[in-house]
Structure 1
């Protein structure tokens, strides 16, 4: 297991060439991104809202129950992903999920009415409204799907698409998209540095260039990852590049002939495609995370200001000025920023903080510095970085530029940690990966965190961080 302290020596022994990547994220303009939002999803929401309104008007339940009816029906159906973006516009394929959602809402509304002691007439009116919603809504949904297919075929309302992999599967996918535009994908290029197919046999352009550059140049909205035989083009790298540029990303699974349909499976004729979740920073819940970051950081700075002042005074008395340590770190999309800490290391004649790794037993760390590090009080000024937007409360820990370059050359996907803002604490840290520990393990934990991000995961990491600090203080 390679630790941070041994990385420099290992770099000379293990360094392998890294594929050039355009780390500067040039996202598609907002107007164009909005134009790619599927009208079918918007229309499905609209027809359900109209069906709820028509059903409530016809049955005339009380106004308060009309609100409960709308919230329950639309909420359950949204939770069952009936308003998702989709390739296959099939009403029959979607019908079981739609009926199950309506039945669930029917049961919930009936239970609410019984538990709140509503009159039998009110309960019956609400149940009748749900049934009326189904009778009115399903034919409208059928019309929306038919309209969507027609627009894709006749008006070309399709996403510009790149297929990664020019083998048999990739070639078949391109031809299928061209022959069946009703699936909403228009192939504009295939990317593969070692194609198995004859380039002349491909109906679109074959590219041997960086995927990020191709996405930006061709203004692509969707990337489909098929099988590539190139030795230096991992599928994971391509998926991350597509995510960072805001593309919808699909993967052809291995053994696709035996792959069953599921919640995240799309169908392009006979090919199953696994739809990868969108990048965390593009979800509405990410704005909630940012809002919580600002509020919690502001409150924490206010409450802990006396503690920060006492720590600064202790450092001043032990080793003089400065008490605040500034250091360049790498944040989201490889942008650098000034990170703030309470200084825990005595100042030497030469400032080697950007290139020297601090390990346990460092002679430059005095009693006050050891206490600050052991309790993590030296990290408190980073609350200001959070307020500024440089960092988040939870995320991969930021590293110095020299070490980022070194670790990216040694460890797979270390560079991919910078898809989200760095954090005051992270999943790797609550699993004991602090200080002189494995960089490879840290990268795996950080990429797992990004792939599985949710607000609840952030809450769990914060709680685990508090528990670790309390337990460490008691040791």
Structure 2
């Protein structure tokens, strides 16, 4: 039943997407040649544009298919669907331009193509958002349901039931459990019927309308998976497996293949991907060069201030733990009187620390002492955005006392970060800082980096927790 609904929905989506693409193309042509906003003339004629518009619709439908926009989106976030639409729009325009090049039709307005790409994204995004709202309204009234049977009524099975009840707009309805341990002594679990044992699966699937079977079995029952999957596939019913070790996995586990053998990356890091790492590194270099160029007079002023207020070097160089637990030397403007490495490497700074100079206190409060770290960024030891690096002495302590502390070393440390812009700077909770750092590492996007940069600038550099 649910599959026939999905097929009908896909046909509707194809028609809607075709209509939205055609409307975007027509409006782009109108804006370019008829609105009077641009000093343009129709160099190739309206009839040719009609043909090109049809070609663009076909290209768009193909790229939409490639980016998975015609598979069920029931449980996917709207943000993910928007990102796929943006990728499809950009790819479709690139493909269309390639077609124009090969057919030697090079007189198509570039303004028209850019306008079309923007309008197509906006129209399709609004269309998908409205469709989601319509389908969720239907599901709230009991239509377009997906009937689910859960095999395993233990803690994992009950967790599945809880999630589906919390997200009723997804349209899942659990009709029952199968459990060898509870049946027949227990009739209901959380108000859902225990319908039988795994041996009853074939009979229950034949007697009830079920769209999906979810396996939520403990590890000691995994030997039954083959039998269950074979029965479900024989009847054409979708089967989903939730591993008993799901608590160890991130929210969005990453699958890799090694010689045909599938593997789950327990902690997938977006910055492990070459494109993401290259994009972030390019930004780090450009941003650091701009900052160092603009603020070079300030560097000179700070250096003179340090020399005039206390004897010793301008820069303070200290070992910190960086990416992949590698030790590097981090630069700061010196804010304290010169002391031995054993003291500076193993003692926290206190509010009334006698080692601080008056000028150094000002530098620490305004975070100006951190400016030389832009040289660390250029060297590749650090990034503009990332978890703050810590001294080896304290890393050895924290890794034993703070859960998942060492995960921060999967990426380059940063001058500022997600924890810092959320208020976890200086003398604040290490646990909360690590929580923010892991959230940043697992969910990194270039847009998130830009958000952190903007929040850093808006919030200012004054650190009330700095001593």
Q: Say yes or no: does 1:441 pair with 2:432.
A: yes
Distance 1:133 1:95 in 2: 22
Give the aligned partner of residue 128 of structure 1: 54
When normalised by structure 2's length, the TM-score is: 0.52
Distance 1:276 1:297 in 2: 29
Q: Say yes or no: does 1:107 pair with 2:20.
A: yes
Q: Say yes or no: does 1:226 pair with 2:243.
A: yes
Contact 2:18 2:61 survives alignment (8 Å):
no
Distance 2:405 2:411 in 1: 13
Computing the radius of gyration from Cα coordinates, the structure with the larger value is 2
Q: Per-residue displacement from partner, 1:221-280 (whole Å, max 9, x unpaired)?
A: xxx982149xxxx6149999999x9x98659xxxxxxxxxxxxxxxxxxxxxxx986533
Give the aligned partner of residue 327 of structure 2: 336
Q: Say yes or no: does 1:308 pair with 2:299.
A: yes
Distance 2:267 2:11 in 1: 23
Q: 1:167 aligns with which of 196, 219, 236?
A: 219
Distance 1:456 1:401 in 2: 31
Distance 2:52 2:18 in 1: 11
CA positional deviation for 1:175: 8.3
CA positional deviation for 1:443: 0.4
SS of the residue aligned with 2:355? Answer: coil
SS of the residue aligned with 1:341? Answer: strand
Q: Per-residue displacement from partner, 1:353-405 (whole Å, max 9, x unpaired)?
A: 21111132212111111010011111011001100111110000001112112
Matches within 5 A, 1:423-438: 423-438=414-429
Distance 1:343 1:301 in 2: 18
CA, structure 1 residues 138+279, in 2 after alignment: closer, same or farther (shift >3 Å)? closer
What do you get for the CA RMSD once the two structures are aligned? Answer: 4.4
CA, structure 1 residues 388+97, in 2 after alignment: closer, same or farther (shift >3 Å)? farther
- Structure with more relative contact order (C-alpha pairs < 8 Å, separation 6 or more): 1
When normalised by structure 1's length, the TM-score is: 0.52
List gaps (5 residues or longer) in structure 1: 1-89, 142-164, 181-223, 252-274
Distance 1:329 1:169 in 2: 47
Matches within 5 A, 1:175-324: 226-228=243-245, 235-236=248-249, 279-282=270-273, 284-324=275-315
CA, structure 1 residues 460+351, in 2 after alignment: closer, same or farther (shift >3 Å)? same
CA, structure 1 residues 322+472, in 2 after alignment: closer, same or farther (shift >3 Å)? closer
Distance 2:7 2:343 in 1: 61
CA, structure 1 residues 352+131, in 2 after alignment: closer, same or farther (shift >3 Å)? closer
Distance 1:318 1:114 in 2: 66
